[in-house]
Structure 1
Amino acid sequence: MEFEFLMKECPLIAILRGITPKETEAVCEVLYNTGIRLLEIPLNSPDALKSIAIAVRGNEGRMLVGAGTVLTIEDACRVYNAGGKFIISPNTDVDVIKETKRLGMISIPGFFTTTEAFTAIKAGADYLKLFPSILGSGYIKDLKAVVKKPIFAVGGVNAENLSEFLDVCVGAGIGSALYKSGKSLADLEGDAKLFCQLVSRIHQ
């Protein structure tokens, strides 16, 4: 399934930092049933590659699974071998971006300055990721005057400010406001429904 197609269904990436292989299947099922279609499993989660493989096997044809906190080309290759379809990094690393594209995956590197943005774009990045909580949506709006790649807001995005960031970004990555280790499936379901309802209202 195409990343862009699933973005149109729901422009949110669920960041499952800290998830374990044992809970992956159940968490994915809850998120799918509430409308989320894109899953990021950060590599600093316990046994992350196993969780990625489990998520991929259980959701083929209905969700896309990728990895976050990808810092090296070796990490990118491991994610590819586990079945991951996109790579998200906290930084702009040209080698990681180029390897991601060589492997046929979607590249979403992190950036903060225009210099980093243009470096990432030149290397082949498909999307860009910005930690917006420090400077807010106004900074992203100003950047878009010159940075033409679509930007994800990731970090500090919650139910209160989601609308603000989706006004200027193509999508958002939702971390602890949606999922955290030890959270019950019922609470996860409630928060996932809330975020998907907010998206529906924003896009009306």
Structure 2
Amino acid sequence: MDKGTVMEAVRTTGIIAILRGVPVDAVVPAAEALYAGGIRALEVTGNTPGCLESIRRLRANLGRRMLIGAGTVVNLAMAQLVLDAGAQFVLAPDLNPAVVAAVHEQRKLIIPGVATPSEILQACRLGVDMLKLFPAGALGVRYLKELGGPLDGLRIIPVGGVDLGNTKAFAEAGAAAVGVGGALVDSSAVASGQYEVLTERAAAFAAAFREGRPQPAASPSC
């Protein structure tokens, strides 16, 4: 799947589910539950035990229905490993030019973490197509909105501290999507096999983002 197709799917869905610490045997049922709630893109974090096997299982079982990415990719070796495992896109908490170049060489989407205008512009000069605003909860909705003044037109995905209470506001402020971890993929629900909790939360997050996303202006009637 080419970068453009992945970007459009992420933008259309509006939510990237973050699977951090989810056991290998639970990733497929967790992903199925998220899919049932309307989620179409997820990432397995690189610091999750068995993350590579989780990516392989997700691609094998849901690869035709969901976008499977890898997150918390902090070095070149990890970037290569997750791509070899089948990750269709890569997210990082920082902006590492070597990781960006490696992922671009594989013609995959890289979403590096940025927090300042300088990092944002550096990422743009490296040819990055989408940016991860991190930690978004600490920086706040107003910060994202004010970035849109001098740096309009950017595809920014707030991650870190995103919950149901601020998802709509981030969408209203111009977010291309949001990345959601524990507020969506509840670890206690996964541990107890209550996957319906994930489905309910997924539907709520998807609805909140859709509600907040600016709608295109209507065409004038004849």
Q: TM-score interval w.r.t. the shorter chain? A: over 0.9
Q: Confirm or deny that 1:175 pairs with 2:181.
A: yes
Q: Aligned partners of 2:46 and 2:94: how far apart in 1?
A: 14
Which runs of 5 or more structure 1 residues have no equivalent in the other structure?
none
Match of 2:19 in 1: 16
TM superposition score normalised by structure 2? 0.87
Q: Which amino acid aligns with 2:181?
A: G
* Contact 1:17–1:180 (8 Å) recurs in 2: no
Distance 1:66 1:60 in 2: 11
CA distances 1:171-196 after superposition (whole Å, capped 9, x unpaired)? 10011100133323122122112112
Flag the structure with larger Rg. 2
Structure 1 CA distance, aligned partners of 2:178 and 2:45? Answer: 15
Change beyond 3 A, Cα 1:39–1:73: same
Query: Displacement, 1:118?
Result: 1.2
In the aligned structure 2, how far is the partner of 1:18 from the partner of 1:180?
Answer: 10
Aligned residues: 204
Partners in 2 of 1:7 and 1:36 — Cα distance? 10
Tell me the secondary structure at the aligned position of residue 188 of structure 2.
Answer: coil
Measure the CA separation in 2 of the matches of 1:4 and 1:125. 12
Task: Tell whether 2:167 aligns with 1:162.
Answer: yes
Separation in 2, partners of 1:180, 1:116: 31
Contact 1:16 1:180 survives alignment (8 Å): no
TM superposition shift of 1:149: 2.5
Counterpart position of 1:149: 154
Q: Among the aligned pairs, what percent are the same residue?
A: 33
Partner-residue secondary structure (3-state), 2:187: coil
Mapped partners of 1:123, 1:42: distance in 2: 23
**Any idea what the Cα deviations from partners look like across 1:139-176, whole Å, max 9, x if unmatched?**
11221223342100111111111111011211100111
Aligned to 1:191: 201
Deviation at 1:8, TM superposition (A): 4.5
Instruction: Tell me how large the CA RMSD over aligned residues is.
Output: 1.5
**SS at structure 2 position matched to 1:36:** coil
Matched-pair contact (CA < 8 Å) for 2:35–2:199: no
Q: Tell me the equivalent position of 2:30.
A: 27
CA deviation vs aligned residue, 1:56-104 (integer Å, no higher than 9, x gap) = 1111221111111001111111111111011100001111111111111
Is the contact made by 1:18 and 1:180 (CA closer than 8 Å) also made in structure 2?
Answer: no
After TM superposition, the structure 1 stretch with the greater mean CA deviation from structure 2, 179-188 or 99-108, is: 179-188
Q: Which residue of 1 aligns with 2:141?
A: 137
Q: Which residue of 1 aligns with 2:44?
A: 41
Runs (4+) of structure 1 exceeding 6 A deviation are none
